[in-house]
Amino acid sequence: MSTSSCCTGLNRDTSSSGVVPLARKTLQAARPGRVVHLPGGRVPVGTDAPLLPLDGEGPQRMVEIRPFAIDPFATTNRDFADFVAETGYVTEAERFGWSLVFRGFVPRVMPDMLSPEGPPWWCRVEGACWDHPDGPQSGIAERLDHPVVHVSWNDAQACAAWAGGRLPTEAEWEHAATGGGTGRYPWGDAEPDDTFLPCNIWQGRFPHDNTAVDGYAGTAPVDAFAPNGVGLFNMAGNVWEWCADPFRIRSISKAAKARNAQGDRLLKGGSYLCHRSYCHRYRIAARTGVSPDSSTGHAGLRIVYDL
């Protein structure tokens, strides 16, 4: 087991994909008009002014993509419950028997919940999973329109395939997140703070004092906050979103080669735990990576469809 970024907690060792063939259902057909169609072409990815260069945010490059459709919302608990009900799918968190929960959501933190290898704000909680997001005592009845969490990359792949879609590439995700603009964020270049609240991130002093000025200490409904220029909601903050790509740093340094060799998968967008003081990863070019069987209380997915 190895450590990951401060945002994403611990990686697990993975020995199998956990993805099994599943019956498919096309959410796009079931919900006509829900998806947003985006053009293809050569699109910029990354930045030439990285804030976290060790994450591989730069240099900016041009990537050719094909036209695609994207869900304006992250996959919700309601969506994922439909997937599980139809397929009987069991997530990796359920099979491991535990997942990582933010310490502030754990009623009683015991020493054996904490790992000396990982950030102290993550707790290993037995029984935490997608429908018990804060542990066995919690549920999703009041969070059906919130994004599903505690899904690994393998789980996300399986859900997307069942929906008749797939996970986006990093180039597709960034192209969608810009919303036709050129800013650092989906809404432009203005930095969020305690008065400008365009997304669900941490307010206050991380990790001890969350003022929740934006109205949410944890996840928010997937349609909270204003959409970007093409109608996509929460492309920054709320939950990290898995992408199809392996996590790669474009560098020949030994550190980059070692990081690339870990076999991690890419996440984009940041989450409700991001704050400028320690994790300024709710920018479009920001990125992180963890092992494909990792699950946490702030990572979910968004589905794209080939046209």
- Return the pLDDT at 261: 85
The 10s digit of each residue's pLDDT in 98-112 is: 999 999 999 888 888
Least trusted range by pLDDT, from 24-38, 144-158, 179-193, 265-279? 24-38
- Report residue 192 CA to chain centroid gap: 19
CA 230, 233, 235 angle in degrees (round to 5)? Answer: 95
Decide if 259 is inside a domain.
yes
CA 4, 284, 175 angle in degrees (round to 5)? Answer: 120
Which of the four pLDDT bands, split at 50, 70 and 90, describes residue 17?
very low
Number of domains in the chain: 1
Which range of residues forms the domain containing residue 124? Answer: 34-306
| Assigned token pair, 175 | 């192209």
Decide if 29 is inside a domain.
no
133 Ramachandran zone, left/alpha/beta (phi>0; psi -120 to 50) = alpha
Percent of the chain with pLDDT over 90: 77
pTM: 0.91
Q: What is the DSSP letter of 55?
A: G
CATH number at residue 40: 3.90.1580.10
Decide if 250 is inside a domain.
yes
Least trusted range by pLDDT, from 20-24, 74-78, 176-180, 204-208? 20-24
